[in-house]
Structures are given as C-alpha cells and as structure tokens.
Chain A
C-alpha cells in the first residue's frame, strides 16, 4: 500500500552561510492511511518546521516529499495552495479562527478555497460542528467560545474538505485535561473512522495513549521510532 505521507531525507535550513540554522536534517518518515502518529520533541527541536514541510508551507532545502504518491517538491505555489486546500487539514496550537466569522462560517470558509465550491458546505459545516459537540454554538463568534470549543471548531474546519491528511501542531497545548481528551478522541476517531492520516506535533506526553506510533525528533533529526 502506498503511504499517504512519504518523506525521504527531508532537510530544511534557515539563513545563509555562517548564520545558517538547520531546522530539519535528513528526516524520513512514512504515514499510512488511518494512522495516528505523534511527533514528540522539546521546543526548538524542529517539530513545527517539519510539520510546515509536510504541510507544503515550506519547500525543503533537499530531500523528497510525496503526498498520496505524488511528488510535491516541484509544484508551483498556486498548485501547493490548491493541494493544501484539497488534501490537508490543519489544526493549530492557537486555534487560528477568524475573529470576524461565526463558528460555522469558520468551518465552511475552507470550501471557498477549492476551485469548485462543493454544494451543501453550510450543511456539512453544521454536521461537523454537531459531531464535535458544538451544534448549539454554530452562530457564535470565536470571542464567545472557550479554548476547548475553539479547538473543536478548528478541528471541524480541518475536516470540511474530507482531507486524507491532518497535521496538528500542539493541538492541546492551550487546553485543560477534559478538552485535551476530547480533542485527542476526535483525532483518533478521524483516523479510525475516516482513514485519515494524522500527524500530531506535541510535547504533551499524555497524548501517547491515543497514538499508533511515536516519533521523537531532536535537533531536526529522527531520534526514535520509524
């Protein structure tokens, strides 16, 4: 079976010459459909840079990246944006909801990025919010939602376009224990029920219980796990 995410010797460095910092250094990984992988490492270890590389937000300095069997390193920035909209759902540490939009609009917004907006986006956004337990909060603005609710809206947003990949950056860092479990359950369910490949970058050890595999990163290199 072709891995959904397949990275070979991914390297990314910032700066030039003497000031060069290698954030990710020859990192290889593969994630299959329906797998939930936790990427652990201390702050500054290169977790976020790796996530940005896998999410096609950064171009690798060297190495190869294939998503759904397709080489993406050579795509134009417009094609990468399209790929992100169609293929990847993002969950951010700070939720990153748009303050001017209601909960359901935040979820439905990503439908606008597709070349052809699918029909029934609003209904799908409502359905997803219902699934994450926010059916009663669909018309609320982010400012009126708790941290846990915001992250659940962000999770619903990540699922709107039925992406085969979810990349989550410290999704539980700003949440209490109850909400942490809710978000971890949602990620697990997405992997199990919708065969989504989930990669979670975190330094929260308690999330390990939900993972299929754990990768450890240090100084931009894979230290443990395969």
Chain B
C-alpha cells in the first residue's frame, strides 16, 4: 500500500508540476506575449545565460531539498490541501536548503520555471505567469501547508519558523571580514584590482573590437541602399571576384518589380605612396546618379560639391587612408598603373584590413581588362512591395545570376569575417578570462594561507564551510567589482583611442558587451575561489589551538 501511494504521489507530481503547471504558464505566457508584448524580445545571450543559471540553480535546490525530505524526513512531497497522497515526512528537516528558507522545494521549482520562461523568451510568463504562480504558492503555504506542519511537528516547527524565513533569507548585517581581509594588505589589494581590471579590459576590448569590425565590414553594403545585390553565379559575398555582362543591367531593369539597376566595379588593389602600403577596395560607381558612390564627403577640391561631380581622372579617398599616406585633395597617386588626382576625402568608408577609394565607373571600365563589357556587381532597387525572394527568383530565372538581399549579403560578410577574426579574438577573451581567474585566485590563495590560523579559529568558533566559502566569494566579488569598474573605464578610453586614432579599426562597446563581460567576471570570481576553498576544506580547526 505504501509503495502504491508513493508511486501514485510521484505520478501526480509529474503530471501536475512536471506537465500541467509549466505548460499552462508557458502557453499562457506566449498568448500574453502575442497580445500585449508583440514587439518586445528577450532573444539575447544575457537572458539565455540567466535562464540557464536559474534552471540549474532551481533544479539543484529542488532536488537537494527533495532528497533531504526523503532521506532525513523519511517522507515524500505529495500532500495537497491536507490530503496525504504519498507518506508525508515524519521528521522535521532543518539543514541544507531548509536552513536558508522553509520551502526550498517551492523556491527551486519557481526558479526553474522562471529560467524556462527566460530561455523561451516569454515576457508574459515572466511578468504575469510566474508572479501569479508565486502568489498562489504563497497563499497555499500560508493557508494549508504551514498550519499542517505546525500541527505535525509542534513547538519544533514554531522554533524553526522563528529562526528561518518562509522564502527570503533574512538580510543580516555581517561583520565586514571579507573587506577587512582584503583591505589589510593594500599593495596586494591594489595589484589584485589592477589585475582584474586588466582582465576585464582585455575581454571587453576584444568583444568591442569584434562588434566594431562586424559593423564596419558591412558599411559599404549598408550605405548603398540597394535592396538586392546581383553577382556572378555562385558568388555570395563581397570579397570573391565576380564578373557580369553589362547587358545584364538592361535585362534586370525589364523585370517586373525592379525600379532600377546600376552596375558597379569593386576590386582590391594595393596603394603605394610615400613608402606606405595599403590594401584598398576600389569602387567604380555611377557618377551620373551617384549610386554605389560615397555617402559622406569630407574635404574636397573646390569644384567637387558632391560625388556626382567626380571626373574620370580623379579619385575620392577614405579620409583615414589619405591621412596614412599623407595625401591631401589635389595630390596625385597611382592606381592600376594610372595617375589620378585626389579630388576629395570620404568619411565612414574604412573597413577592417582595407579602406575604400572611389573612381568613376567610366574610368574604371577603361582600366580593368574587359571592363568595357562587364561589371563586377549590379545594385538593384525594387519598385513595388514585392517580397525579396520573389524578385530573386525572377533574377535567377531570367539571367542565371545570383541575387542576394542587402541583409543576407551583410550576414554573409559577417560570417566570412567570423571565420578568421573570431578565433583570434576568442583567444584574447579566453586569455583575459584566465588572467582574471589567476589574479583573483592567487591573491585569494596567498591571503588565505597567510591567515590560515585565523580561518582555523573561525572553524573552531563555529563557522561552517558555507560561511567560509561565502567569505572567500565576497572577497573575490569585491575585487571583481572594483576591477570591473576600472576595467570598463579603461575599455572606454581604449575604444575612444581606437576610434579616434587607429585608421581602419572601429570598437563598439555597448550594453550587450558590458553584460557579457560582467557574466565572464562573475564566472572568474567563482572559479578563483576553488583552490583557496579546497585548502580551507582541508583545514583542521585544531589549527586554532596551535600556539
């Protein structure tokens, strides 16, 4: 009979709390999302990581508490509204999660559901479902569970309830031992904070360079404004060589839904002047319409008011590129073996590893072999609200060329960049992470060894391992928070320096990077406490008696 009741209880638990409650919360939340929060998205790495952390913590907390109820309390979970489905705990459990709050099973379960809602990106579940569930749980505990437990365990439970809170651990003002331990040796403390700040700077900086580079690499694609890019069949990025017959422009313009099509040239070359070499992406654009040309001009020769006035023997150069080569408007340079006059400087036209130079399409056509018969790319603008994929299918059917939307081409470029940039940047991020772990870890470890006898005293006086771990963690977090503040300050300065003074590079520190770096920092703090804590676990409290 007991076994039957246990199985029945587990079955009911699984049905109710494993299926119905989460199902109702998530599905209800999704309905709310569709009605009330259609434009709000939780699709971000930070929310995913927080969701995972909540799920892991909730599951661990839940199962720890459930295990204690079964092994020490000698009972099971299922008692609903006073009706005992499975055998209830015979003994009061007050340790482990039950020493933190009285209902860790409920808290763990709610945390798990909140984590699930975050991962699924349901704001409705988080804002309405979980709070509602929390309110129901609270009411149930107050009205049914607590009176039942008081009845079952009598004064033991009353004493326990007086000591341990229902849900939220009571806020206790502790003696600031962690801070004092750190602050005791100011030189070591300063070195620690500097080390952490360096680690944070390294992580933050690498991520912001990656972001800057990702946005920079698509700068030309983004600014052309073309809806669709047409390239040689099989080409799907803006790096590979492409050649298209000139007559394809007319063919494309005849297609239904196409407003206009403009051919351009885009070829890499090497610019050598004043003993400086640069890899330059030279664009030949349509000077009649300005399509495919530069979008923002800096200093120019007097006759050049806009990019449509560029002459065939003139070139527009990226401002940073010109600065690097010490070229000014009016100077001359050689490209593809021909001499051009710098007619003006362009802004926002630098990309990782190369900068842009602009020639007239006519000049370019005469330079490159076969240029009078071909373009490298054709830019296309739509005339009607026709879906992109429809137009692309029409292009491919009519011309056997490849068509890509602007967004797709930009994605492909970012992916291409990721192939060679990401591994390098990730090495930097991992190194920063390791530097941070080692710096905090060594500082904590040496200060722990130095105060070994004091820790022995703490153990002798009644400090639990948990208290000691909290002490170490607080020290790590304290170093981390100061180091992080300093590291972010330095990262902002580094970003400013890069954006102002380093040609061809852009850094873009933003909220997402800040959050990612803080998460990495928190992981650093956790990892760095492992070794000192291991030593403290080995510590014999008898150390306190050693004179």
A-to-B contact residues, CB < 8 Å: 48, 51-52, 55, 57-58, 76-79, 81-86, 88, 90, 92-94, 96, 98-101, 105, 108-110, 112-117, 157, 169-170, 173
Q: A96: which of B175, B457, B466, B467 is its contact (CB, 8 Å)?
A: B457
User: Chain B contact residues: over half helix, strand or loop, or mixed?
Assistant: helix
* A113 and B177 contacting across the interface, CB-CB below 8 Å: no
Q: Give complex CA distance A92, B457 in Å.
A: 9
Distance (Å) between the CB of B186 and the closest chain A CB?
A: 12
Q: How far is the CB of A175 from chain B (nearest CB, A)?
A: 13
Taking CB atoms, residues of chain A closer than 8 Å to B99 are 115
For window 441-469 of chain B, which residues contact chain A by CB distance below 8 Å? 451, 453-454, 457-467
Interface membership of B88, Cβ < 8 A: no
Q: Are B459 and A81 in contact (CB under 8 A)?
A: yes
A84 near B461 (CB under 8 angstroms)? yes
Given the known interface contacts A57-B541, A96-B453, A115-B99, the answer about A81 and B463 at a Cβ–Cβ threshold of 8 Å is: yes
Distance to closest chain B CB from A162 (angstroms) = 13
Chain B residues with Cβ below 8 Å from A115 are: 99, 163-164
B172 close to A93 (CB less than 8 A): no
> What residues of A have a CB within 8 angstroms of the CB of B184 in the complex?
99-100
Q: Give the chain A neighbours of B177 by CB distance below 8 A.
A: 98, 100-101, 105, 109
B303: interface (CB < 8 Å): no
Query: Could you jot down 28 A-B contacts, CB within 8 Å?
Result: A52-B542, A76-B95, A77-B465, A79-B95, A81-B465, A84-B460, A84-B462, A85-B461, A85-B463, A88-B462, A90-B460, A90-B461, A92-B544, A93-B547, A96-B453, A98-B454, A98-B457, A98-B458, A101-B180, A109-B458, A109-B461, A112-B463, A113-B462, A113-B467, A116-B163, A116-B172, A117-B173, A173-B547
Complex contacts, A93 vs chain B, CB 8 Å: 545, 547
Is there an interface contact between B545 and A101, defined as CB atoms closer than 8 Å?
no
Interface check B181, CB cutoff 8 A: yes
Tell whether B16 is near chain A: CB-to-CB under 8 Å: no
Nearest Cβ on chain A to B330's Cβ, whole angstroms: 69
CA distance A173 to B547 in the complex (A): 10
Q: Which residue of B lies closest to A201 (CB)?
A: B545
Q: How long is the Cα–Cα vector from A93 to B457 in the complex, in angstroms?
A: 12
How far does the Cβ of B490 sit from chain A's closest Cβ, in whole Å? 29
CA–CA, A55 and B547, complex, Å: 17
Smallest distance from the beta carbon of A68 to chain B beta carbons, Å? 15
- Name the CB-closest residue of B to A154: B457
Pairwise interchain contact A110-B461, C-beta atoms closer than 8 A: yes
Given A84-B460, A101-B177, answer yes or no on A78-B183 (Cβ-Cβ < 8 Å): no
**Are B545 and A112 in contact, CB atoms less than 8 angstroms apart?**
no
A116 touches B462 (CB 8 A): no
Q: How far is the CA of A130 from the CA of B519 in the complex (A)?
A: 47
* B174: Cβ under 8 A from any A Cβ: yes
The residue that A92 contacts in the complex, of B163, B175, B451, B545, with Cβ under 8 A, is B545
For B530-547 the 0/1 string (1 means CB < 8 A from A) is 000000000001101101
Distance (whole angstroms) from the CB of A102 to the closest CB of chain B? 9
Q: Is the CB of A101 within 8 A of B175?
A: yes
Is B170 interfacial (CB-CB < 8 Å)?
A: yes
